Structure 1
Amino acid sequence: MNDNINDDIIPLFQNSSEIETQVIKSVEDLKRNGTLDFSNFKNLLEGTYFLLNSKDEDLYNLGLYSICHICEFVPKDVFLLELLQDCIISSRIFLYKEMLPQEVNIENSFFDSYVKSYYTLDTGTVLTKDQKKIIALFNEYKRLIVSAPTSFGKSRIIEEIIVGNSYINIAIILPTIALLSETYLRFKSNGYLKEKYNLINSLGLVESIQNDNKNIFILTPEKMDMLLDEKPNLHIDFFVMDEIYKIQDDKDRKSVFSNCLYRLSKMENHFYLIGPYFDDFSPNFRSTTNSYFKKFNSEIVQKDTYSLYKMEKGEEYVVGDKTLKFKKNKKLNFRDVIKSVDGQTIVYNYRKDYVENLSKDIVKILDKSDETNSDLIEYISESISPDWSLVKALKKGIAFHHGSVPRYIQTEIIDSFNSQEIDIIVCTTTITEGVNTSAKNVILYSNAIGKLDNLLTGFEVKNIKGRAGRFRVHFIGRVFYFHEVDEDDKDIILIDYYDKEELEPEDVLQIDKEDLKDKNLETRQRIEDLLSKNKIPLSLLKQNKYIPIHKQIGLINLLRTQPIHLELVYFKGTHPDMGQLDEIFNLSREYLFNERDYNDRGFIDRELRRLLKYYVYHKPSIKQLIQEQNNSEYIDSKIRSVFKLITHYFEFALPRYFRAFENIYNFVYQEYHGVSDGGINLKYLLTLLEFGFVRDNEIALKEAGLPNDIIRKISEKFSDCNSLQQVRLKYKLNPNIISSLSSFEQKIFKRYI
């Protein structure tokens, strides 16, 4: 059969164009009717086989489109099943067969088993045809950049590369906390990686590094940058950067992404940079690093798209086994779709508050009489608020997910969704940027991102669309568009450090002088001349990364010309008093804050200062912080505000500003007093803000991912531990040490510790 089928097809079809047309028509008939007669099914399978054996990538992808729909409506005839088996073998996506219904029994021939063995690694992992190519390309080039669709399995290759090589230090750089958590837990469940490597997902674990240890650092770009600052002699043998397009698209973080990639790629090492839907990657970077780029287009999970915005009133469309009629009212169409889809569903909206409101609407639409309870619901009710709309939604099998939902709750929501305890998640881009779910359906309720007039690009649309359907769970994902959208790949990803003719001065400062040229080299020379003239060391401004140079110089000049500020800030001991903290905050805000933080209407000057002092001097619980919010009377707004306050200002922005302030203050203080050391020490303040705690054992628990209220409950049990390593050892020796925690809290502890 395998050798002769093409000879049978050629008389049937005159050319590949005719085959394309026939396959597309037959698949539409199959979708509409749920089956085909024997003759049409046979022709469809033969045409699909032809396409899957084509060297043309578009024809191959059409073959995948067809085979996924055939597997969705699998024929029952034995002969047709044998044809389907031949198509699966030809697709080189052998796991399709395992996804077929259990009653479908097709035996492998010796030839089929032989072909499959060629795509099976020593670890037992069965690769697709394109995944096999990636492994071969990596083995050939060792510095590989890959563009491939979502659900392609790009991340799956990471573990195989690690197993197949003898690396000592590995860095996995991930852009979001959600993706970081998912990757850490996946690596933790891999027996080989857990046995051979220390898995390090926080800087608190860095002190445990020994020269003879093998380590995998799973960090954000910011944390990786800090690690390289703290450990300048650390050599990374292999690194991965996932969602690499953010190095161009993330306006607020592109500098730290660029700097992280620049520093890592300058080491003599291997790397694997991955992301979806881009046609090319910085030629300057590829030339400088001697790296290779390859784009793949095959979608191993195909999509059925419903463009509702194109429909006319009364036009019929089929969702699952239901026929719906398009209505002019968007909310009525949304109601119809939500009530008709089967399988897990992700709904995208562009703002956090709109996400929460839409989840409330879905609760009303579905109008479930029964409520479920869970340990997660009880825990959130107790530790945050029983009135939070997330609690009410979870009881109905619905959740929302955005950047102001705590990391551990995000993880629990995804787990509950993938285990089908939750049916629908309404989200911003927090899920659509790399996190794997079991969603069959994706609904783009909005075509904007961040704000209404900022429309999703074609690339962003495809990235969200790609979350519909998960390989090994679905053959087909469904996508519903409620607004007009484009679906275009990104032409090229460019990197400021390598491609921008005129970099910002702050970026120029971070690049080795020998790597600069033309205008950027001139900028560097002007910076050095200006600093020399003002008697300011280059190293001072360089360590205050991403703080505008002119603002730093402005603060230095203020402290030099008005030394009264040196007196107002100066303190001895571990931390400043309220008046001194006021002065530090005021000067930092005026001279160091970026424009977004300076003009943040959600946290105006006096309110942010008040909450800062309350947090530092009273160490409140989450519930107490919620009660202190004056920006709204609604509980959802208060909770959203608290988590933004903690994750953006307390844990990230303020420590960065205050650390720069400390460096600048101490430089001017020592200069003014003519001494080589002295000044203020903000370590206590910075630690308290970043972690919510100052004791070593509590910091270790927080860095591992535990929420604050659980840490407070068990802190004394681990008071003699100075690191997470010691916490883990003590727990292994005495698991009953956490018996005072609830079963859910113990589950959280075990997950992260």
Structure 2
Amino acid sequence: MQYHEVLASLKRDDLEHADMFGILKAVSHFVNDKSNIANGRDLIIRLLARRKLLDSFETRILTSLVRAVGLYPYMSEVLEFAEVDDRMAYELHRPDNIPEVFHSLQARIYYQLRSGVNVVLSASTSVGKSLVIDAIIALKKHRKIVIVVPTLALIDETRKRISQKFREFCNVITHPTQTAQSGMVNVYVLTQERVKQRIDLSNVDFFVIDEFYKLDFRREDDNQRAVDLNLAFHRLASTGAQFYMLGPNIQAIKGLDKYEIHFIPSEYSTVAVDVFSYNLPAQGDDRPNKLVEICQALSTPTLIYCQGPTSAMRVSRLLMRECLREEVPACAGAADWIADAYHPEWIVAEVLRHGIGIHHGGVPRALQQNMVRMFNDGLLPIMVCTSTLIEGVNTVAENVIVYDRRRNNKVLDFFTYRNIQGRAGRMGRYFIGNVFLLEKPPENAEVSVEYPVGLQDADTPLTLVMQLDDDALTDESRTRLADALDRNFLSAATVLKNGSVEPAVQDILAREMFQIMQQDPTVFSWRSNPTQTQLIAACRLMVRHLWSLRTKGLGVNSPEHLAWYVRALGSPDGMKGYLSQITQGLESNEEISRKVDEGMKILRNILIFKFPQDLMVLSSIQVELAQRLEISAGDFGFFAETVENLYLPALLVALEEYGLPIPIGRKIQRYLSPFHDLNEVLDQLRAFNVENAGDLSEFEKSLIEAIQGGI
């Protein structure tokens, strides 16, 4: 039998026991053919999904076939039928000090890392790459470990996993205020930006770069994040530490010639995937109608990928209207709370009542975490998401529907599509994942990743070059940097301090700022809170010189508009007051909800990230210019930190990363003793008795208790 014939047989609804021996015989031929092992593994997984049709003799055969393709974790499903040698092989794939069993690829990586080799792994999402990290931690061989992840959501997921497994001997550090503890294995779980903030990473033993493809500027929309990841890798690798880099669907990596690495590009998979492609037009009713038809036929957890928040809102309303009309009592508490704490007309609260979760960049991080928890717990049958959920966060979805063929406004490339596809199915939960492509899939293409530090040329961004040590620069890069610094209006020290901004941009900005300061020496001399005139002057320079087209597309239209948002964020009513100001005067529910989404996106991407960062660039420049003009210099640090922390105590805001929404944090603050570092806050939160806080709703109590279990 050919592969497609066996596959068709295993998919039959009328498959019977009498058919199974012949199928087993056919599958064994694929398993024994080493050139066709991938098809053999795929068919074995599908056989496991139909194992109830096998008798005990046939199940023993299946058990041996499972072993032959290296899927040892799945042997637990049929272990009672295993022969002695199969049981021994199963136990031999259990690493030291953790209860899980490895499959063959995990075991290969584990033993290479254990022997001290640097490993770069490219494999699908379902492979369980993170389990290898846990096994390395469990060895207690390395006392200082750094895990670099691309998002705060992944910080939370990784922190919870490690804390729950290794609480007795691991100190997990995620925040700038936390410090290492002697006698413990200190595990730093950081984004690339936070690696830059740490001054205690000079003696690292082992580090991990998750989603390593983000090193390559060609793969990233945000060049600055790619620069920061390159700097993080370079800094950590320069310590001589061993490393493990992991990501999906990469066939080659270039620029790491300086390091001894073992690159493993693997097609290994622990789930089978069925892909259904419809090639529907982007416009018109065909896609929405097909989406409704598919969702009405599905009964297991489903992710629906949309290109952005606006598309997610439209899709959610459609599903609420056509598929999930009834409200879900188990979701009422969360929906009521979101409506009260943020805005009653927000689509996130409205559709949540019907069992539909929304996950995109405008949803606060703590709410994102709670949505994922509700989805994984089976309370939400559908999660409508953008790339914020696709990149890295684990879910239990059996089905993935790719509604849009775009990411933001760009057509999905094959790499991103494969990354989305990898979210269907989950080892140990669903043997077979289903992927529904409503538009035409992208063309198949091999993907290579370039490490720019190792491949410096005339196109390497100066924002990377000027943040590297001199001994890491090529002669060409030294010449480029020297030329940029020699003709700059600012001193080399100031330009290098503002390393995230191109030297030419700093030069133009400084010249304009110098002219302004000559005419009005007070406009940039403030040190705590600026006047409205001073704030708008700073905003004008940011928008004109430091904002990209991507930033300008987030909904802030002018310097005055930016200043308005900065002030609105300081509302005495917190988040609710901020959103109330943004939506004032609007009438239609859809218009209000769209404005709330926009306001949350501006909050996350501009107010607490871009604005404070840019304000500190202006601050360092005005200090130098004030010295030249012999006038009083300002210091924007206090105000930058104030806005970054939403006009609240910094450690209270930090709790959102642990899943505690800021409105709840403000509520329970009165019950906590004064604190000075994050560990103190976490200790108090861990011991907090929700029954002693009479003003907490049942949802708030349950959410706090869920968070306590993960810290």
Is the TM-score greater than 0.5?
yes
The separation in 2 between residues aligned to 1:255 and 1:67, in whole angstroms, is 43
Query: Would you say the 8 A contact 2:170–2:184 is kept in 1?
Result: yes
What is the match of residue 611 of structure 2?
654
Q: Tell me which of 606, 627, 632 is aligned to 1:670.
A: 627
What corresponds to 2:578 in structure 1? 625
Partners of 2:387 and 2:527 in 1: CA distance: 44
1:59-458 matches, within 5 Å, as 59-74=36-51, 75-99=53-77, 106-122=80-96, 123-190=98-165, 192=166, 194-205=167-178, 208-210=179-181, 214-227=185-198, 231=199, 234-248=202-216, 249-252=219-222, 253-282=225-254, 284-285=255-256, 287-309=257-279, 329-372=286-329, 373-451=331-409, 454-458=410-414
Which residue identity lines up with residue 492 of structure 1 in the other structure? S
The residue type equivalent to 2:438 in the other structure is F
In 2, distance between residues paired with 1:330 and 1:630? 31
**Shift, 1:734, TM fit:** 6.1
Distance change in 2, residues 1:76/1:166 (3 Å): closer
Q: Percent identity between the aligned chains?
A: 23
Matched AA of 1:524? L
What residue is the counterpart of 2:699 in the other structure? Answer: 744
CA distance in 1 between partners of 2:673 and 2:496 (Å): 37
What do residues 373-405 of structure 1 show as CA deviations (whole Å, max 9, x unaligned)? 443222212211232222221221111211111
Contact 1:201 1:704 in 2 (8 A): no
Indicate whether 1:26 and 2:6 are aligned: yes
Could you tell me which residue of structure 2 aligns to residue 484 of structure 1? 440
Contact 1:461 1:487 survives alignment (8 Å): no
* Shift, 1:547, TM fit: 1.3
Cα pair 1:23 1:44 within 8 Å, conserved? no
| Partner Cα distance (1:476, 1:703) in 2 | 33
Report whether the alignment pairs 1:47 with 2:26.
yes
Deviations 1:273-317 (A, max 9, x none): 1001010112x21x2122221111121101011122399xxxxxx
Task: Find the counterpart in structure 2 of residue 6 from structure 1.
Answer: none
Q: CA deviation at 1:73?
A: 2.0
Q: TM-score, normalised by structure 1?
A: 0.86
Structure 2 counterpart of 1:499:
455
Question: Aligned equivalents of 1:710 and 1:376: distance in 2?
Answer: 13
With over 3 angstroms needed to count, the CA separation of the structure-2 counterparts of 1:733 and 1:346, relative to structure 1, is closer
Of stretches 550-559 and 129-138 in structure 1, the one that deviates more from structure 2 is: 550-559
Residue type of the alignment partner of 2:318: D
Q: Which amino acid aligns with 1:243?
A: E
- Tell me if 1:715 matches 2:669: yes
Superposed displacement of residue 733, structure 1: 6.2
Unaligned runs of 5+ in 2: none
Q: State the shift of 1:355 in Å.
A: 0.8
Distance in 1 of aligned mates of 2:232 and 2:415: 24
Question: 2: distance between equivalents of 1:705 and 1:415?
Answer: 10
Contact 2:272/2:433 (8 A) holds in 1? yes
Amino acid in the other structure paired with 1:273: M
Q: Shift in Å at residue 623 of structure 1?
A: 1.7
Q: How much does 1:484 deviate?
A: 1.2
Aligned AA (2:356): I
In structure 2, distance between residues paired with 1:661 and 1:476: 53
1:428–1:214 Cα change, 3 Å: same
Q: What is the rounded CA distance, in whole Å, between the counterparts of 2:520 and 2:285 in structure 1?
A: 65
Closer, same or farther: CA 555–305 of 1 in aligned 2, 3 Å = closer
Mapped partners of 1:398, 1:310: distance in 2: 24
Deviation at 1:540, TM superposition (A): 1.7
Give the Cα separation in 2 of the matches to 1:467 and 1:714. Answer: 36
Shift of the alpha carbon at 1:440? 0.7
> Could you tell me whether the CA contact under 8 Å between 2:119 and 2:243 is conserved in 1?
yes
Instruction: Give SS of 1:239's match.
Output: strand
- Is 1:202–1:703's contact at 8 Å kept on the other side of the alignment? no
Alignment counterpart, residue 645 of structure 1, candidates 595, 598, 602: 602
Which segment drifts farther, 196-205 or 723-732?
723-732
Residues 302, 475 of structure 1: 8 Å contact kept: yes
> Partner of 2:424 in structure 1?
468
- CA 1:541–1:51: 2 relative to 1, 3 Å: same
Residue range with higher mean Cα deviation, 231-240 or 649-658: 231-240
Deviation sequence 1:8-44 (CA, Å, 0-9, x none): xxxxxxxxxxxxx534312212312441563x52232
- Give 3-state SS (helix, strand or coil) of 1:151's partner: helix
| Cα distance in 2, alignment partners of residues 551 and 358 from structure 1 | 41
Match of 2:511 in 1: 557
Where 2:374 maps in the other structure, the secondary structure is helix
Name the SS for the 1:305 alignment partner.
Answer: strand
Taking structure 1 as reference, are residues 213 and 667 closer, same or farther at Cα in structure 2, changes over 3 Å only?
A: farther
Larger displacement relative to structure 2 (336-345 or 716-725) = 716-725
The offset of 1:748, in angstroms, is: 3.8
Count of matched residue positions in the alignment of Structure 1 and Structure 2: 693
- Aligned residues of 1:398 and 1:423 also touching (Cα < 8 A): yes
CA distance in 1, matches of 2:173, 2:110: 25
In the superposition, relative to structure 1, how do residues 574 and 146 fare at CA in structure 2: closer, same or farther (>3 Å)? same
Q: Give the Cα–Cα distance (whole angstroms) in 1 for the partners of residues 596 and 698 of structure 2.
A: 25
Aligned amino acid, residue 245 of structure 1: Y
Instruction: Give the match's secondary structure for 2:582.
Output: coil
2:535 to 568, 578, 581: 581
Does the 8 Å CA contact 1:72/1:475 hold for their aligned counterparts?
A: yes
Once the 2 structures are TM-superposed, how far is the Cα of residue 184 of structure 1 from its aligned partner? 1.8
Shifted more, 455-464 versus 717-726: the winner is 717-726
Indicate how the Cα distance of structure 1 residues 164 and 490 shifts in structure 2: closer, same or farther if over 3 A, else same.
Answer: farther
Return closer, same or farther for 1:414/1:712 CA change in 2, 3 Å cut-off.
same
Unaligned runs of 5+ residues in structure 1 are 1-20, 312-326
Q: Please tell me the root mean square deviation across aligned C-alpha atoms, in Å.
A: 2.6
Larger Rg belongs to: 1
Q: Tell me by how many angstroms 1:409 deviates.
A: 0.8
SS of the equivalent of 2:307 reads: coil
Structure 1 position 522, deviation (Å): 1.8
Of 330-339 and 635-644, the range deviating more from structure 2: 330-339
1:445 and 1:564, CA in 2 relative to 1: closer, same or farther beyond 3 A?
same
- Counterpart contact for 1:239–1:272, Cα < 8 Å: yes
Q: Indicate if the aligned counterparts of 2:390 and 2:423 stay in contact, CA closer than 8 A.
A: yes
- The answer (yes or no) to whether the contact 1:147–1:296 under 8 Å persists in 2 is yes
Distance 1:426 1:599 in 2: 23
Structure 1 residue identity aligned to 2:561: E
Distance 1:265 1:607, change over 3 A: same
Structure 2 CA distance for aligned equivalents of residues 26 and 573 of structure 1 = 73
Q: How far apart, CA to CA, are the structure 2 residues paired with 1:549 and 1:43?
A: 70
1:14 maps to none
Contact 2:177–2:677 (CA under 8 A) maintained in structure 1 = yes
Query: CA separation of 1:732/1:615 partners in 2, compared to 1, >3 Å: closer, same or farther?
Result: closer
Contact kept? 1:143, 1:291, Cα under 8 Å: yes
